[in-house]
Structure 1
Amino acid sequence: MDTLNCIECFVRSAEAGSFAAAARRLGLTPAAVGKNVARLEAGLQVRLFQRSTRSLSLTEAGEHFLREAGGGLDILQVAMANLASRQGQPAGVLKVSMGVAFGRLYILPLLKEFLARYPDVQPDWRFDNRPVDLIAEGYDAAIGGGFELPPGVVARALAPAHRVLLASPNYLAARGVPQKPEDLSGHDGILIRSPQTGRIRSAMLRSGDGRETPLDLRARILLDDPEAACDVALMDFGIILVAMPHALPYLADGRLIRVLPDWYVDTGVISIHFAAQKQLPQKTRLFIDFVVEQFRLQGLDRRFSAR
């Protein structure tokens, strides 16, 4: 097992680009990761990394060994994890990333049923409004939408990723209800910055009959969190553009009203993402199947559609 641990430290360091990043993923100290890599190099009698105070890069031998060993390590770890499962049941830590409000509203309610089926799985769920590096950060799965898949990651679709315009009844009573997209330019907008770039993303409104037009709202307040934007909209400050999962609770009780209900922004699909490998750990495969099943049974794919 010592050799396997050393190989894992090497592979994760190569993937992450540093001993420190690999250590965070493996739950070790950077010094321990560095020592394990040094032990592997000593055993193989070859240098795998070029080290400096600022960078860590693979040697030619290191690149060759990574190609040969990386995929085999993943397969071996899956086989060991599945063998360790008690009586054929999945077991082990299940590390999943999801958005804060989305996770609390739609994934946490599934926890009781999931653990009733698979009691030996230990959920380690992280709530973060950003796309994570699933492979480098060691996640089993991530749930989100509206961004491109990085290399080595695949996805199963859960629901459409649609965004809609909302405002409070008081705001619309005072400022008037927009009747067409061109009317939006005269209204105050509560705009949400991208958590990745800090910029206000441009958006194209789409109608049910296929027409498109740019969204044009006058910036009144800038925020970087959709739940905060909903709270500000409740204060009657303007119109917001938020994803349907955020909008549904406010629409259900009438605290916010959909503006231009025939129009929406299409940003793709909400999906569950996971590593593109032939043999997924049993815990990961069953979790993915479970979430897809629950979204279908609860009709969330239809509820998240703005059409």
Structure 2
Amino acid sequence: METLANLESFVRSAESGSFSAAARRLSLTPGAISRNVAYLERNLGVQLFQRSTRGLALTESGERFLQSVQGGLDSIQGAIADVMVNAGQPAGMLKVSAPLSFGMEFLLPLMPAFLERYPAVTTDWHFDNRPVDFIADGYDAAFGAGFELPPGMKARELARVHLIAVATPAFLHGKRRPKDPSELAELAGVVMRSADNNRAITWVMRNRSGTEVAAVQKPVMIVNAPDAVCCATLQGLGVGLVAVPHAAPHLESGALERLLPDWHSDVGPISLYFSSQKLLPPKTRAFVDFIIEGLRAQKLAEVLAVKQSTD
């Protein structure tokens, strides 16, 4: 009978395509993972992986075996979780990734209460606006948008992010106001750069009747962070498409004015990513539950939505 360690080493290596990534996920060494898989191959009498300098690839036998055991492994771990999770106390290092502005504004304010409730947990935060390699980098949880969901992971949508067109009164003085997003091309713009291809992003804006128009801007400055778009727009450099919570206080103070009040851009959801396995470490389960509850109390979905702006 194969040990659970051998089966788990095989399944996690197959999911991540790497002994090293599986080792980080299971808190073992790459050598231990490799040995466990080798023992499994020897006992079965088949080769499960093709190994190369570029990584691992399942053989035909490996593909069949993975399909046979993957669900069973999760069921076994779920049974163990029923016994352990409720008894175990959240503890240890919790590695988390989040976009800088989102993390600073919405997540870090929740941490004093979280750490007071779970004093044995240490949170290791990594702030980055780009999607991370969740498994290879050993994250317990990550926040963001546009992640390629790897096997064994799930995404919990938290809210949708809306952008609105804003500029300073000084910049707009004497200029003709655009009537629809296509006319933004007539004004200087502060534009966001895509992390995927380093090109300026053209957002699509939508009005209340559902009509969609591309907001093609004339860049005077290109930046790589959403909060930088807001900051540069506040300097009077041009029109910026700014996230609602960033723009709201400046609209209230009069530092910014909203253009195209009937239009906004829905840039998609921001989600919480974590393992889909039933056997989550107590620290991860406690963090996920606490964050979801805390953001719901903050009414995050309403805060990020266009209805929070001053129409």
Q: TM-score, structure 1 length as denominator?
A: 0.81
SS at match of 2:195: coil
Matched, 1:191 2:178: no
Q: Deviations over 1:223-256 (max 9, x none)?
A: 2222232332233221222333444455465544
CA-CA distance at 1:305 after TM superposition: 0.9
Task: After TM superposition, list the pairs within 5 Å mapping 1:255-266 onto structure 2.
Answer: 255-266=255-266
Task: Determine the C-alpha separation between the residues in 1 that align with 2:145 and 2:161.
Answer: 6
Matched, 1:96 2:117: no
Q: Deviations over 1:31-81 (max 9, x none)?
A: 554344334433444322122334421123322332334344445556656
CA-CA distance at 1:285 after TM superposition: 3.8
Matched, 1:37 2:37: yes
Q: TM-score, structure 2 length as denominator?
A: 0.80
Task: After TM superposition, list the pairs within 5 Å mapping 1:145-224 onto structure 2.
Answer: 145=145, 153-173=153-173, 175=175, 177-224=177-224
Match of 1:125 in 2: 125
Task: Determine the C-alpha separation between the residues in 2 that align with 1:13 and 1:88.
Answer: 26
- Mapped contact 1:84–1:91 kept (Cα < 8 A): no
SS at match of 1:266: strand
Q: Which runs of 5+ in 2 are unaligned?
A: none
Match of 2:10 in 1: 10
**Counterpart residue identity of residue 189, structure 1:** G
CA-CA distance at 1:290 after TM superposition: 2.4
Query: How many residues end up aligned between the 2 structures?
Result: 306
Change (3 A) 1:274 1:66: same
Change (3 A) 1:295 1:54: closer
Q: Deviations over 1:102-144 (max 9, x none)?
A: 1111101101112222333333333221233445554443322
CA-CA distance at 1:302 after TM superposition: 1.5
SS at match of 2:66: helix
Task: After TM superposition, list the pairs within 5 Å mapping 1:69-84 onto structure 2.
Answer: 69-76=69-76
SS at match of 2:185: helix
Task: Determine the C-alpha separation between the residues in 2 that align with 1:53 and 1:256.
Answer: 54
CA-CA distance at 1:205 after TM superposition: 1.2
- Mapped contact 1:205–1:263 kept (Cα < 8 A): yes
SS at match of 1:62: helix
* Range with greater deviation from structure 2 (226-235 or 272-281): 272-281
Match of 2:227 in 1: 227
- Mapped contact 2:190–2:233 kept (Cα < 8 A): yes
- Mapped contact 1:82–1:281 kept (Cα < 8 A): no
* Range with greater deviation from structure 2 (136-145 or 180-189): 136-145
Task: Determine the C-alpha separation between the residues in 2 that align with 1:12 and 1:246.
Answer: 40
CA-CA distance at 1:150 after TM superposition: 5.9
* Range with greater deviation from structure 2 (141-150 or 154-163): 141-150
CA-CA distance at 1:161 after TM superposition: 1.7
Task: After TM superposition, list the pairs within 5 Å mapping 1:130-141 onto structure 2.
Answer: 130-135=130-135, 137-141=137-141
**Counterpart residue identity of residue 259, structure 1:** L
Task: Determine the C-alpha separation between the residues in 2 that align with 1:226 and 1:198.
Answer: 14
Change (3 A) 1:164 1:85: same
Q: What is the aligned-residue RMSD (CA, Å)? A: 3.4
Change (3 A) 1:247 1:74: farther
Match of 1:56 in 2: 56
Q: Deviations over 1:8-33 (max 9, x none)?
A: 43323222223344445456654554
Task: Determine the C-alpha separation between the residues in 1 that align with 2:155 and 2:172.
Answer: 39
Q: Which runs of 5+ in 1 are unaligned?
A: none
